[in-house]
Amino acid sequence: MSQARRIVLLGATGPTGRQIMTQALEQGHHVTALVRDPTKLAARSERLQVLTGSVPDDPHAVAQAVRGQDAVISALGVGRSFRARDLIARSAPIIVSAMERHGVRRLIFVSAIGVGHRYPLPLPMQIFTRTLLRGIYADKLAGENAISASRLDWTLVHPAMLSDGPQTGRYRVGERLPFQGMPKIARADVAHFVLAQLADSTCLRKTVVISY
């Protein structure tokens, strides 16, 4: 088992965040979850601390959560909504500021495949990201730009289309990947990869895609 870390988890009540939290606790890590509504968090553990607060609206709560930690993992998102509400654009600078203030360097940030158009996507996905998801992607790109401009040891994770399948541990990761059809990845495998980055420096200051 890898060394136990003290982790701040943002977005812990979402489906990907829940996978990250479950696996982190199973691996022996100490997790501080900052959530707007603690009643949505069913997990219980002596290694889980739950704090209440909204990332974009409460910088003090973010700073309180980050203080004394080893790493921050973000799975923030708007769920099934097509309205970004500037969630990531507002949240990212607050996260970066809190981490820099308290000397916490490692940030693993789950975004979405195709943000910033850094690599070619299948045509159907290109159409989708530039129409229905245009506002969501613009918001995520603004947040990514704030993170990549920081002095942190960041990794931006671009998962393919997310599913609720089982963890396999068999997936592809790279700054550019060849795709056929509509690429997919289970949230459980995204969580597996994200937590592996706590002890792996291969993807420091890189944007990486994860897909089957």
Write the CATH number for 10: 3.40.50.720
pLDDT one-digit tens code per residue, 140-153: 999 999 999 999 99
Distances (CA, A) of 83 to 88, 112, 139, 199: 12, 15, 10, 35
Q: Which two tokens stand for residue 141?
A: 């790109």
Question: What's the CA gap between 134 and 92, in Å, rounded?
Answer: 19
Residue 71 confidence (pLDDT) above 80 = yes
Q: What is the pLDDT of residue 94?
A: 98
pLDDT one-digit tens code per residue, 74-129: 999 998 777 888 999 999 999 999 999 999 999 999 999 999 988 888 888 888 88
- On whether residue 88 sits in a domain, the answer given is yes
Number of structural domains the chain divides into: 1
CB 11 within 8 A of CB 75: yes
- On whether residue 11 sits in a domain, the answer given is yes
- On whether residue 200 sits in a domain, the answer given is yes
CB count in 10 Å sphere of residue 182: 12
Distances (CA, A) of 167 to 111, 122, 164, 170, 180: 19, 25, 9, 8, 21
Share of residues in the chain with pLDDT > 70 (%): 99
- On whether residue 1 sits in a domain, the answer given is no
Q: What is the pLDDT of residue 175?
A: 96
Q: Which domain holds residue 123?
A: 6-211
Q: What is the pLDDT of residue 138?
A: 95
Average pLDDT (54-68) is: 97
pLDDT one-digit tens code per residue, 161-212: 999 999 999 999 999 999 988 899 999 999 999 999 999 999 999 999 999 9
Confidence of residue 73 (pLDDT cuts 50, 70, 90): very high
Strand-pairing partners, residue 159, are: 210
Residue 1 confidence (pLDDT) above 60 = no
